[in-house]
Amino acid sequence: MSESQPTIDLGEELAALQAEHDALLAALHASTARGHVPDEERARLKQEIATLFRTIDRRLTALAQLKEDVKGLVAAWKQLPEASEPPAPAFLDDSSHVDDAPVSAMRARAPIADHASVRVDHLGASTFVAKGWSAISMGEHARAEETLTRALELAPDDPEGVALLAWAVMGQGRLDEARALCDRVLARSPGFPLARVNLGYIALRRGQYGEAMEHLATAVREDADRKAALYATFYLGLVYLRREMYDDAVGLFRRALELGPNLLEAYYEMGRAHWLAGDRDAARAAWRTGAASGKFNPWGARCADVLEQVEQGGEPPPLD
């Protein structure tokens, strides 16, 4: 690691967060017992709960990233030059498994370190790729583009990095640029699933449903890339929704939620499919579930908003 990181006492921090949670819970119980809660107090409690949630969410994101960085350490260990018969490091033995491969097998695969600088670049790039995907998953496409551009400076031909950069620019509406990046990936790796998913979404946005289905139907069968399979399934649901094949769309959104329960956008779109099919109760149920599943998630909030809108006699937003 090139940069020193501040030491964090996770035990103390967890205790502090737990204490904050307990204090808020006590405040809620006290307010409930009084029987009347002023609007100002309700707003304050809501803000404090949201702040605590965001604090914990940031810590979880940081820990998840640190976990990915540790995987990078394993990748770097695999690149160490070998002596005639190197001993295993102290924290591993031949019965240990990292990425489901025994250490003895990792030794056998490790190439001689004659291009160390190139390997370090790829290791650094993988960190930026992970951070780029994290930004995409939070809808921060501009930040993702910046991070993934940095990754590709270190590893210009990394197919995942290029495909995710296409996703980032696609999320900003630059469809031609995204398609060019996908074509660049497929020129080197014709079956790369994430590139197929992106091309399917681009075709969907352009109303080219036949082409969209062709790309997405290929990616949806990808057992080796769960991310590609998840989003291919979801986008295929969007294709069927726009073709007014509502039952098929609902089935695909349900399948997407089986693959990725945190993809709350699927609840939002499932609700729209039910609504357009005339099943208003099922639509409300989908939005209600989405809202309850992620009160501080942007798509959970959208589910709550559209549910409130239709409960007041309105209509959900039209398909874009």
Which one is predicted more confidently, 252 or 83? 252
Under the banding of pLDDT at 50, 70 and 90, the label for residue 4 is very low
pLDDT over threshold 80, residue 199: yes
Mean per-residue pLDDT, 279-307 = 93
Mean per-residue pLDDT, 145-165 = 91
pLDDT over threshold 50, residue 210: yes
Quickly count: other Cβ atoms within 10 Å of residue 188's Cβ: 11
pLDDT over threshold 60, residue 33: yes
What pLDDT, on a 0 to 100 scale, did the predictor assign at position 100?
43
- Most confident by average pLDDT, 9-13, 130-134, 278-282, 295-299: 278-282
